[in-house]
Amino acid sequence: MPVGTAGTVKAMLPESVAATGADIVLGNTYHLMLRPGAQRVADLGGLHRFMNWEGPILTDSGGFQVMSLAKLRRMSEEGVRFRSHVDGSEHMLSPESSMEIQRLLDADIVMAFDECTPFPAEKGVAAESMRLSMRWALRSREGFGDRPGYALFGIQQGSIFKELREESSKSLQDIGFEGYAIGGLAVGEGQARMFEVLDYAAQMLPDDRPRYLMGVGKPDDLVGAVARGIDMFDCVLPSRSGRTGQAFTRRGAVNIRNARHAADPRPLDPNCTCPACRGYSRAYLHHVFKAGEIISSMLMTWHNLHYYQELMAGLRDAIGAGTLAEFTAAFRAEQAEGDVAPV
C-alpha cells in the first residue's frame, strides 16, 4: 500500500498511483485529525472524494505517530493526551476517538488504537504495553460498532517475545476482527530478528483473514515476509527514497546522486515499463535531481511504486503457480548481482 499520510502520496497524482498497479492507499489518523481536521474532511465528502482516490483506503490509528511525533505525551488507561507537533495545540486520542475520526474520514479499513512498544524493551515493559493495547483493542471494537462493508483490524503486539505475541494473538481472536496486523516490528530490531519473530507470529493469526505487517519495508523484507505468511504491507520507503534520489531495481538500489550516472544513457532498469524507465536516461534523472527539479521526485517515486507493485504481483503469481521458492531464489540472485556500471 503506497503511503498517503496527509491525503496524498507525495509527488504523485492519484491516477498515477493507480497506474502503478496499486489498489489501496494508506492515510493517517494523527496527521489528518490535526490538519485539515476529520470533521472538515467529512463535510467535504470523506477522504476518498477529498483526495480524489476511488479505491479503498486504510487509515493507521494514529497510535504510532502520537508516540513518535507528538510533544509532551501523557499516556493513561484512557488514551494519550499530547501536544501537536504542528502548532502545539493539545489533543486527546483514545480508542473511541480514533474510531470516530476514522469513521469521519470514511476509511474502508480501520486500525485499532494501540501503543507501539519501543525497541528494545524488557519483557515486563513489553508485556504491560501489549496488555494495554489489548484492552484498547476491545474498546476499539466496541467503538467501531456494526459497519457492514467496512473492516476493523486488530494489531498483534509483544515485541520479540514469543509468549507475549501468543497471548496478544489469543486476545485479538477472542475479540474478533476482520483482519489482523503485526505491529511493533521494523522499529530497530534488524531484519534477522524481525524474520525470527515472523517465523511464528504470522502463524498465530487466522489464515482466513488478511495478515498485515505494518511499516515494512525494503524489497528483500517483503519477499522474506511473504514467505512467512504475510499478505499486506505499507511503507514510506518507496516514495521517500524516490524523493531523496534512491531507486529500487531488480539488481538492487541505485543512488542517482552518484556522479557515475551523469553521462549514463541507460534507464534505471531496462526491463521496467514505468514512465521513468521508458522515457528518461539515468543522466537526465541525475541532472534533474542535482538541479532540484520537481520532476525528479515525480519520476523516481513513480518508478519505485511501480517496482514494488510489480514485485508483489510476481509474488502472487508465484504463490498461485506453486513456485514461490524458485521466485525467491531468482529474486535474491538478481539482487546480489548489483547495479553494474556500463563497460
Secondary structure in 3-state letters for 153-197: EEEECCCCCHHHHHHHHHHHHHHCCCEEEECCCCCCCCHHHHHHH
Per annotation, catalytic residue among 221, 234, 264, 339 = 234
Q: What is d(CA 75, CA 63) in angstroms, rounded to the nearest whole number? A: 11
The pLDDT of residue 157 is 98
In a domain, 122, yes or no: yes
In a domain, 7, yes or no: no
Q: Which domain holds residue 143?
A: 14-235
Tally the domains of the chain.
2
In a domain, 318, yes or no: yes
The mean pLDDT of 94-120, rounded to a whole number, is: 96
Residues 132 and 249 in one domain: no
Residues 231 and 244 in one domain: no
Please name the residues in contact with 256: beta carbons below 8 A apart, sequence gap of 6 or more.
245, 246, 247, 268, 282, 285, 286, 289, 300
- On the question of pLDDT at 68 being above 90, the answer is no
Residues 82 and 209 in one domain: yes
The pLDDT of residue 5 is 94
The mean pLDDT of 190-198, rounded to a whole number, is: 98
- How far is CA 49 from its chain centroid? 22
In a domain, 5, yes or no: no
In a domain, 6, yes or no: no
In a domain, 1, yes or no: no
Residues 208 and 274 in one domain: no
In a domain, 4, yes or no: no
Residues 129 and 231 in one domain: yes
The pLDDT of residue 109 is 98
Residues 165 and 275 in one domain: no
The mean pLDDT of 191-209, rounded to a whole number, is: 98
Which pLDDT tens digit goes with each residue over 128-143? 999 999 999 999 999 9
- On the question of pLDDT at 114 being above 90, the answer is yes
- On the question of pLDDT at 236 being above 70, the answer is yes
Which pLDDT tens digit goes with each residue over 290-341? 999 999 999 999 999 999 999 999 999 999 999 999 999 999 999 999 998 8
The pLDDT of residue 291 is 98
Question: Of 205, 235, 265, which one is at a domain's C-terminal end?
Answer: 235
Q: SS3 for 27?
A: strand
Residues 178 and 277 in one domain: no
Contact status, residue 256 vs residue 246, Cβ threshold 8 Å: yes
Report the chain's mean pLDDT, rounded to a whole number. 96
Question: Of 214, 235, 256, which one is at a domain's C-terminal end?
Answer: 235
Residues 174 and 318 in one domain: no
The pLDDT of residue 238 is 98
Q: Which residue, chain included where needed, has cell 473511541? A: 96
Residues 226 and 246 in one domain: no
Q: Which residue, chain included where needed, has cell 511493533? A: 184
Question: Of 181, 203, 235, which one is at a domain's C-terminal end?
Answer: 235
Q: Which three cell numbers stand for residue 239?
A: 516514495
Which pLDDT tens digit goes with each residue over 150-175? 999 999 999 999 999 999 999 999 99
- On the question of pLDDT at 105 being above 80, the answer is yes
The pLDDT of residue 199 is 98
Residue 254 DSSP code: E
The mean pLDDT of 98-121, rounded to a whole number, is: 96
221 is catalytic: no
- On the question of pLDDT at 343 being above 70, the answer is no
What CATH number is given to the structural domain containing 190?
3.20.20.105
What letter represents residue 307's amino acid? Answer: Y
234 is catalytic: yes
Q: What is d(CA 143, CA 140) in angstroms, rounded to the nearest whole number? A: 5
Peptide bond into 14 cis (omega under 30): no
In a domain, 306, yes or no: yes
Could you tell me the pLDDT band of residue 118, with boundaries at 50, 70 and 90?
confident
Residue that wins the pLDDT comparison between 285 and 118: 285
Q: How many CA atoms lie within 13 A of 220 on its CB side?
A: 14
Q: Which three cell numbers stand for residue 299?
A: 519520476
Residues 114 and 263 in one domain: no
Q: Which three cell numbers stand for residue 337?
A: 548481482
Residues 216 and 245 in one domain: no
Residues 316 and 209 in one domain: no
Contact status, residue 152 vs residue 141, Cβ threshold 8 Å: yes
